């Protein structure tokens, strides 16, 4: 290296009043994870006697980690031999951060739109169905929007204290968890039915479910669960259960949205149960 401008010194974190840094000093300033790839790119440019562009990070002594974009132009003599590289370095940290924030904002907006569509779809489905079985099929919309692997609805099983799994959307399931399965809520899995508040449950917790249910969840590869009560007028009609095969938990925003969805489902379930009761009573009177 023969010459650096004052800007180059400052961008790369060296003292402009000091001596010209050796290449080894410059390479050491590059982030450890980027050093090998950067060195390979430099060596390739030398071998090819060609211009190059390169993105890498540096560990700046005063400004932490910075994103650098470097451009180099190969200068050749009349015989085609490489004489030197002329180039520049640009600190793109703020630009990259702004782009990342923009992408995140766009992703957040898409998520909000998807969730709004889901809420509308669920509302349309449940308000147009009084048959309980058809009504519960509305949960099939939830998996894609919530980026989960399983959605289920459980309702009380008559005189027993268990919950019957009446609707299930589990496209990649092995069939171990299936509709009609009788569940015994215990521990954290029972808490939402009593507190009327969503609860996060992990299969890593040995007390999260009844032993036989936990074994099924582990066998199916499910890790993180969110149990949301189907609450209406101060009582739980059942539960909406969302699960993922990854160890990614559910965020507070997820819980808030799922509470909205479960509230709509709870109202519809109560209406459907009342409709079924009336239909059964009419059938008895008609006999």
Residue 94 vs residues 16, 67, 82: alpha-carbon distances, Å: 23, 8, 34
**Which CATH number covers residue 181?**
3.30.450.40
Same domain, 23 and 144: no
User: Of 91, 118, 133, which one is at a domain's C-terminal end?
Assistant: 91
pLDDT tens sequence across 184-200:
888 888 888 889 999 99
**Higher confidence at residue 75 or residue 120?**
75
Shared domain check, 131 and 74: no
Residue 249 has pLDDT above 80, yes or no: yes
**Cβ neighbours of residue 281 under 8 Å, at least 6 residues apart?**
none
Answer whether 241's CB lies under 8 Å from 230's CB. Answer: no
CA-to-CA separations, 198 to 38, 86, 188, 246, 268, in angstroms, rounded: 49, 61, 10, 19, 19
Residue-range definition of the domain harbouring residue 116: 108-286
Q: Is 100 a domain residue?
A: no
Output the furthest CA–CA distance in the chain (Å, rounded).
107
Range name among 36-40, 111-115, 168-172, 226-230 with the lowest pLDDT average: 111-115
In a domain, 134, yes or no: yes
Contact 203, 189 (CB under 8 A): no
Residues 265 and 199 in one domain: yes
| Boundary-marking domain end, from 60, 91, 122 | 91
Question: Could you tell me the CATH number of the domain that includes residue 44?
Answer: 3.30.450.20
> Six-digit token pair at 230?
């189907």
239 shares a domain with 155: yes
User: CA 194, CA 60: separation in Å to the nearest integer?
Assistant: 54
pLDDT tens digits, residue range 5-44?
A: 999 999 999 989 889 999 899 999 999 999 999 999 999 9
230 has a pLDDT exceeding 70:
yes
Mean pLDDT along residues 208-232: 91
pLDDT for res 135: 65
pLDDT single digits (tens) 72-101: 999 999 999 999 999 999 999 999 999 999
Q: How many domains does the chain have?
A: 2
**Higher per-residue confidence, 79 vs 208:** 79
Give me the mean pLDDT over the 218-225 stretch.
94
Query: Considering the domain boundaries, does residue 99 fall inside one?
Result: no
Count Cβ atoms below 10 Å from residue 143 Cβ, excluding itself.
Answer: 18
Q: Are 169 and 177 in contact (CB under 8 A)?
A: no
The backbone torsions φ and ψ at residue 69, rounded to the nearest 5 degrees and listed phi first, read: -115, 120
DSSP three-state, residue 70 = strand
42 and 114 co-located in one domain: no
- For residue 132, what pLDDT is reported? 65
- Spatial contact of 84 and 113, defined as CB atoms under 8 Å apart: no
> Considering the domain boundaries, does residue 73 fall inside one?
yes
Tell me: the pLDDT tens digits for 121-153? 767 766 666 666 666 666 667 877 888 999 988
Q: Is residue 102 part of a domain?
A: no
Residues 126, 44 share a domain: no
Looking at the structure, tell me whether residues 75 and 143 fall in a common domain.
Answer: no
204 inside domain = yes
As a whole number of Å, the end-to-end CA separation of the chain is 100
Both 201 and 68 in one domain: the answer is: no
On whether both 173 and 55 belong to a single domain, the answer is: no
Residues 281 and 151 in one domain: yes
Q: Are residues 25 and 161 in the same domain?
A: no
In a domain, 101, yes or no: no
Does 96 reside within a domain?
A: no
pTM of the model: 0.61
91, 119, 150 — which closes off a domain?
Answer: 91
* Together in a domain, 85 and 121: no
């Amino acid at each position: 290296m023969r010459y650096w401008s004052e800007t180059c010194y400052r961008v790369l974190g060296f003292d402009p009043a000091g001596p010209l840094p050796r290449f080894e000093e410059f390479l050491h300033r590059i982030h450890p994870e980027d050093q090998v790839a950067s060195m390979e790119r430099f060596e390739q440019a030398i071998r090819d006697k060609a211009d190059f562009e390169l993105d890498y990070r540096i560990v700046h002594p005063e400004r932490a980690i910075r994103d650098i974009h470097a451009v180099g132009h190969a200068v050749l003599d009349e015989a085609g031999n490489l004489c030197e590289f002329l180039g520049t370095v640009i600190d793109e940290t703020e630009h990259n951060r702004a782009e990342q924030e923009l992408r995140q904002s766009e992703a957040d907006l898409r998520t909000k739109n998807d969730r709004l569509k889901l809420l509308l779809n669920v509302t349309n489905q449940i308000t147009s169905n009084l048959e309980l079985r058809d009504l519960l099929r509305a949960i099939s919309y939830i998996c894609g929007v919530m980026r989960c692997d399983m959605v289920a609805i459980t309702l009380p099983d008559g005189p027993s204290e268990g919950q019957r799994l009446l609707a299930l959307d589990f496209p990649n399931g092995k069939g171990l968890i299936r509709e009609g399965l009788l569940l015994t809520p215990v521990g954290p899995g029972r808490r939402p039915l009593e507190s009327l508040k969503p609860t996060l449950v992990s299969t890593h917790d040995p007390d999260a479910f009844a032993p036989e249910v936990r074994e099924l969840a582990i066998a199916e590869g499910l890790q993180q669960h969110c149990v949301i009560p189907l609450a209406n007028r101060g009582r739980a009609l059942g539960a909406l259960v969302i699960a993922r095969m990854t160890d990614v938990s559910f965020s507070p925003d997820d819980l808030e949205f799922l509470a909205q969805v479960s509230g709509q489902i709870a109202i519809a379930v109560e209406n459907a149960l009342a409709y079924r009761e009336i239909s059964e009573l009419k059938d008895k009177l008609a006999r």
